[in-house]
Amino acid sequence: MSKINAVSIKPGNILQHDGGLWVAVKVVHVKPGKGGAFAQCELKNIEDGRKLNERFRTSDTVEQIHLDQKEYSFLYQQGDMLVFMDQETYEQIELAKDFVGDDQIRFLQDGMVVKLQLFEERPISIALPEQVVLVIVEADAVVKNQTASSSYKPAKADNGMRILIPPYMEAGERVLVSTETGEYLRRAD
């Protein structure tokens, strides 16, 4: 942790403020005609998602936090908990499904390497790889002369997810899917 002057806050900085960890979302530096300059910051709480608008004077200082980033591999699911293993020390850590989020859980695969951001050995956030390989288990038939609508057809992947794939693809094909949007990217190598 290091103290920085409030006018040095930039979007993306992580601060310890008001008893919690906050990320600076938006920062506007204001120099009014009368009075001292200040920084108007929109902060978002990392742990619970609350937002806060805070005004810092040029003389104020804040604690800037630097998070540790470690790679963990996903091992298995145990009830409402997900078990991950540190790639370096082989220590295991359990995270609640709520922490990871349903939109991310659907992409988890055995042995998948994820990045955890830690503050004082406590997980703050998780980042999955940008894309994953899924196998198509069901693909709808192509409708002939359907050129007026999109050129993609519905399909079901091995993780139960529904995605749109090109019409020439069939069940058994391996595809790359974006973990951010859940959309088909291309055929896997």
Residue 96 contacts residue 102 (beta carbons within 8 Å): no
- The full length of the chain comes to 189
Per the confidence metrics, is the pTM higher than 0.75?
no
| Cβ-proximal residues to 186 (8 Å cutoff; 6+ apart), any chain | 175, 176
Cα-based distances in Å from 10 to 7, 15, 41? 8, 10, 9
Closest residue by Cα to residue 161 from 187, 146, 182: 182
Q: What is the pLDDT of residues 67-107, one digit of tens each?
A: 888 999 999 988 899 999 998 998 999 988 888 878 888 88
Q: Six-digit token pair at 13? A: 């900085």
Q: What is the pLDDT of residues 109-156, one digit of tens each?
A: 888 999 988 888 888 888 888 899 999 998 887 766 665 556 788 899
Closest residue by Cα to residue 185 from 133, 144, 146, 141: 133
Closest residue by Cα to residue 75 from 58, 60, 87: 87
Single-letter amino acid code for the residue at 171: A
